């Protein structure tokens, strides 16, 4: 929607944990089906974050940023 309604030149899709697969699906659908030959993947960044959960244990969660850009 950012590409079509806001005329954005670049959009970042960000997810962490169990939603990473959904982030990849959204990027693939946008670039290969919805906006075919209009939008491509510019960059993919992966990382992880540490934080304390409710029990006080340190937990590491993976993150992903996928940057889509107009061709």
Boundaries of domain holding 49? 2-70
Indicate the number of domains in the chain.
1
pLDDT of residue 37: 80
Q: What is the pTM of this model?
A: 0.82
Can you tell me the distance from the alpha carbon of 32 to that of 55, in angstroms, rounded to the nearest whole number? Answer: 42
45-62 residue pLDDT tens: 999 999 898 999 999 999
3-62 residue pLDDT tens: 778 888 899 999 999 999 999 999 999 888 887 888 989 999 999 999 898 999 999 999
pLDDT of residue 1: 76
pLDDT of residue 62: 97
Can you tell me the distance from the alpha carbon of 3 to that of 9, in angstroms, rounded to the nearest whole number? Answer: 7
Are the CB atoms for 16 and 45 separated by under 8 Å? no
CATH number for the domain spanning 44: value is 3.30.110.20
Q: DSSP readout, 24-64?
A: HHHHHHIIIIITTTTEEEEEEEEEEEEEE-TTS-EEEEEEE
Beta bridge partners of 52: 58
């Amino acid at each position: 929607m950012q590409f079509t309604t806001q005329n954005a030149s670049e959009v970042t899709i960000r997810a962490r944990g169990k939603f990473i697969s959904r982030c990849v699906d959204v990027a693939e659908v946008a670039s290969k089906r919805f906006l075919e030959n209009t939008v491509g993947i510019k960059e993919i960044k992966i990382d992880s974050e540490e934080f304390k959960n409710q029990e006080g244990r340190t937990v590491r969660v993976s993150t992903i940023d996928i940057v889509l850009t107009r061709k």
